[in-house]
Structure 1
Amino acid sequence: SYIILFILLSFVTPTFPQVEQIDDKKVELDRIKGEISELEIELEEEIALEKESVKVLENYNKQSFLLNKIINNFRREEQDKKVRINNRNRNIKSIEAEIKILKENYAAYVVSIYKKGKISEFESVIDSESLQQAILRVQYLKKFSERREKDLEELVIKKDELETAKALLQQEINEKKLLAEQKKAEEEVLQTKLVERKKILNNIRQDKDKLQATLNTKKEAQSRIKNIIAKLIEEEEKRKLQLASVDGTDIIEEHSGIEYDLNTTSFSSFAQMKGEMLWPIHEGKIIGKFGENKNSVLNTVTLNYGIDIEAKEDNNVRCVAEGIVSAIDWLPGYGSVIIISHNEDYRTVYGHLEEIFVQEGDKVNVGTVLAKVGESVDGKVLHFEIWKARLNRDPELWLAKK
């Protein structure tokens, strides 16, 4: 019947937004893989010209960033599939429960007919003591018969629905398995890159000229971080103007084809955390102070916009305050970088990251593990900054005293 066809189509046919979302993800994946291929070509040329240079290191760093991005996307899709599979299982159990009830009702009807026989409308009229009773009996038998027929039709529909649900469940399971295999393959590629990158790092650590070159790239990165912060502030100011123009209705920002809410006003006060803030690295040690830092090996003075925290056994990088992941980028000198927007126009910056677990638009809490700290020429060191609007602050004054 048309009812059965409609129900089946409603389960099988994906909605247009889902199709568009899958297409967007594929385009993004192809773009990232294309960028990695271009970097591979550049890497071969760079190695041929000057093996183990800072430029080669940054090439490896960017490839690692892009591979991590692919892995993170696979990880998120895998988690989404897990939720969908759980929902499918719940739906199947619900349908099976409905089928059980329908079967029990129909079985009771069949047993009743077997024991008492099927009473016709004519028999019920003849057997009645009055005309009113006869009319009521006829109406009851008609409704009872219609209900049983409806139960039988519904039982057929539910069985078809169950088969469709089981087929969709198996499809989700197969897709989840494929995602796990793809993620594993990319992780193996990343591990290979990290081993190669470590060799380059060891070489650079023994060469003063190359160490100086890494400091120069960090100076450039500082300017780029400042520009990203300025851009985020401009976007926030634009959002506030839009909010004012639509009588307080929430504005959803669009970024990289993904929509998410960047409003931070509902979050806890950032300013009140000064002096009591969670350390982004558990049991970390500050080896690079805020402001001017002298490099004893190179005998140079550099300006640090934040602090550098050496990791010991725990390499997890934790969010220091409630906020929204507003930017994830790669910067020469600082590698993979995350910027979190907080309440009261504060932002925190986390650099030298190796494995990232969050995505832009994610809401994070105090202690949320954002990433793992990566290895730089200084070792396993996290670069950490705090900004109030366009002014950077000394993070050491904000962190809880040990």
Structure 2
Amino acid sequence: MKTARTACFLLAIALFLASAGPLPGASGLDSRIAQEEARMRILEKQISEHQKRAKQMGEKEKGVLTQLNSLDQKKKVTEQRIRVLELKLEKVKNTISNLRAEVRLTEQELAEMMHVFENRLVDIYKYGGVAEFNLLLSSTTAHEAMETSYLLNRIALQDQAMISGMLEKKDRLLQAAAQMEQQEKELAVNTSHLGKERKTFREEINKSNAFLGQVRQERALHEQAVKELQQSQKEIQQTVTALMRKKRDEESRDRGRSAQYTYLPSGGQLSWPVQGQISSTFGTRVHPVFKTKMMHTGIDIRAPRGTPVRAAGPGEVLFAGWLRGYGQVIIIDHGNNLSSVYAHLSSMSVRESAAVKKGQTIGSVGSTGTATGAHLHFEVRVGGDARDPMRYLRK
């Protein structure tokens, strides 16, 4: 009976091992890591394209807006890298925690099994092979004796396989945990390194702010900064005009393309891209950074950093990238020669040529470019010319 009970116990353990699944995964984290890595690649590509355009346009390397733009871009790339590393670090910690829990469980199971086998060894010492021999002698037929012999052999093999398997599993899990710990150390080093880089970039931004203070005091630098800002306003107008012309030319060659997108009906109103207080209206104003009267080609809507920015109307993304002075910018074509501009974004969630629906999230509020704080700079343009957005937004 004792041998039969042992066989049943061993069979149960074997079934347990066979049914044991893989360690808990982190598919959610894997998905987030993949998304953030994709955003990082897009960001790096957008910055590279902006730098190429700047070089082609002959922007001065020491220009005020150019320096601010460079600092913004370095900061955004570094923040994105840190975001990816933090997610990877979180994944490693979760994996290590799961592995250690599995090791503890395996050790407990092994201890219980060893206790069973110790009792069996005591029985073997007391009775030797008498019990098994009696079991064989009690067989009434040769076939029954063969079955009993086969069962006893399976029990012995199962004993050996069980101990070996559990020891191998324990060693394998310990090795995996050690590897994960090493990865965690490496990620911690990388995260620390990038944290130092962020600190360096913050110091550079502080230097830039000090430089802006110098710009306000020195006439030559002040005039240069104002000239650059005025030029950046012309650049965005030229960008919108050129992109819309290119798109119309493509549509004329491919008549079916225009049907792929839903545009704002003629005379239709736009919805508010973000809810918040208007801190600066359309028209002539004193620039908050350069303290000079200049034309403000849109409205500024104050909102917390990271607040979702939504498409003011249906259309197609004409541009998603960086523009000098405006930081991260999205331009949407709403049809009928109407377009909207969303500037100073902290992140962008749409790509160029993508169709967007009214109210769809396209990015988030930030302060990239020449901005004194988190807000959305929103413009409405007709044929590239800036118009007062309040005339188009729903009351």
Shorter-normalised TM-score: what interval?
0.5 to 0.7
Q: Does 1:101 align with 2:109?
A: yes
Aligned to 1:311: 302
Give the distance between the partners of 2:85 and 2:244, measured in 1 at CA. Answer: 29
Q: Could you tell me how far 1:226 is from its partner in structure 2?
A: 6.2
Which of the two has higher C-alpha Rg? 2
> Which residue of 2 is the match for residue 10 of structure 1?
none
Specify the code of the residue in structure 1 equivalent to 2:93. I
Cα distance between partner residues in 2 of 1:78 and 1:140? 54
Partners in 2 of 1:232 and 1:160 — Cα distance? 62
The runs of 5 or more residues in structure 2 that have no matched partner are 1-33, 251-255
Shift of 1:103: 4.0
Equivalent-residue separation in structure 1 for 2:88 and 2:244 (angstroms): 31
TM-score, normalised with respect to structure 2: 0.59
Q: CA RMSD in A?
A: 5.4
Is 1:71 aligned to residue 102 of structure 2?
no
Q: 1:58 is matched with which residue?
A: 66
Q: Is the 8 A contact 1:327 1:360 kept in 2?
A: no
Alpha-carbon distance in 2 for matches of 1:339, 1:309? 16
Partner residue of 2:22?
Answer: none
Residue 160 of structure 2, aligned match among 145, 149, 172? 149
Q: Is the 8 A contact 2:365 2:374 kept in 1?
A: no
Name the residue aligned to 1:178: 189
Q: In structure 2, do the counterparts of structure 1 residues 164 and 101 end up closer, same or farther at CA, with 3 Å as the change threshold?
A: same
Q: Residues 331 and 342 of structure 2 are in contact (CA less than 8 Å); yes or no, is this contact kept in structure 1?
A: yes
- What is the CA–CA distance in structure 2 between the aligned matches of 1:338 and 1:381, rounded to whole Å? 14
Q: Distance in 1 between matches of 2:368 and 2:133?
A: 87
Find 1:161's aligned residue among 158, 163, 172. Answer: 172
> What is the distance in 2 between the residues matched to 1:208 and 1:112?
94
> 2:237 and 2:138 mapped to 1: Cα distance?
97
Matched, 1:133 2:144: yes
Residues 318, 366 of structure 1: 8 Å contact kept: no
C-alpha change, 1:330 and 1:66, in structure 2 (3 Å) is: farther
Tell me what 1:216 maps to: 231
> What CA distance in whole angstroms lies between the structure 2 residues aligned with 1:340 and 1:141?
78
How far 1:88 sits from its partner (Å)?
A: 3.5
8 Å Cα contact 1:337-1:352 kept in structure 2 = yes
Q: 1:229 to 1:154 in 2, by over 3 A?
A: farther
Kindly tell me: are residues 277 and 336 of structure 1, through their superposed partners in 2, closer, same or farther at Cα, counting changes over 3 Å?
closer
Quick one: which of 280, 286, 291 aligns to 1:287?
280
For the residue of structure 1 that corresponds to 2:325, the secondary structure is: coil
SS in 1 for 2:328: strand
2:203 matches 1:192:
yes
2:329 corresponds, among 328, 331, 337, to: 337
- Where 2:139 maps in the other structure, the secondary structure is coil
Query: Partners in 1 of 2:317 and 2:307 — Cα distance?
Result: 14
Corresponding residue for 1:352? 344
| Distance in 2 of aligned mates of 1:149 and 1:127 | 27
1:84-95 matches, within 5 Å, as 84-95=92-103
Structure 1 residues 370 and 300 mapped into 2: Cα distance closer, same or farther (>3 Å)?
Answer: closer
How many Å apart are 1:196 and its aligned residue?
2.1
For 2:348 and 2:295, the matched residues in 1 are separated by 35
Amino acid at match of 2:226: L
Q: 1:74·1:182 contact (CA, 8 Å) conserved in 2?
A: no
**Deviations for 1:350-395, whole angstroms, at most 9, x for unmatched residues?**
4224xx467888xx9977973532472676553235799x999986
Helix, strand or coil for the counterpart of 2:377? strand
The AA in structure 1 aligned to 2:200 is: V
SS of equivalent to 2:310: coil
Q: 2:364 aligns with which of 358, 365, 370?
A: 370
Q: Using the alignment, how far apart are the partners of 1:148 and 1:387 within structure 2? A: 80
Aligned counterpart, 1:110: 118
Q: Following TM superposition, by how much is the alpha carbon of 1:79 offset from its aligned partner in structure 2, in angstroms?
A: 1.2
For the 8 Å contact 2:365–2:376, the answer to whether it is kept is no
Query: Distance between the aligned counterparts of 1:234 and 1:89, measured in 2?
Result: 58
Give the drift of 1:90: 1.8
CA distance, structure 2, for counterparts of residue 170 and residue 60 of structure 1 = 40
Q: Distance in 2 between matches of 1:348 and 1:144?
A: 77
Task: Write the distance in 2 (CA, Å) between the matches of 1:153 and 1:160.
Answer: 11
In structure 1, C-alpha distance between the alignment counterparts of 2:83 and 2:360, rounded to whole Å: 22
- SS of the counterpart of 1:188? helix
CA distances 1:111-133 after superposition (whole Å, capped 9, x unpaired): 23423656476443223344343
Q: Percent identity?
A: 19
* 3-state SS of paired residue (1:376): coil
Distance 2:175 2:318 in 1: 40
Q: Which moved more, 1:330-339 or 1:183-192?
A: 330-339
Q: Cα deviation per residue 1:186-223 (whole Å; 9 max; x = unaligned)?
A: 22112112222223334555746642431212221343
Aligned mates of 2:234, 2:393 — CA distance in 1: 24
2: CA distance, partners of 1:103 / 1:231: 74
What code does the residue aligned with 2:235 have? E
Say whether the 8 Å CA contact 1:316–1:372 is kept in structure 2. Answer: yes
Partner of 2:17: none
Q: In the alignment, is the contact (CA less than 8 A) between 1:65 and 1:336 conserved in 2?
A: no
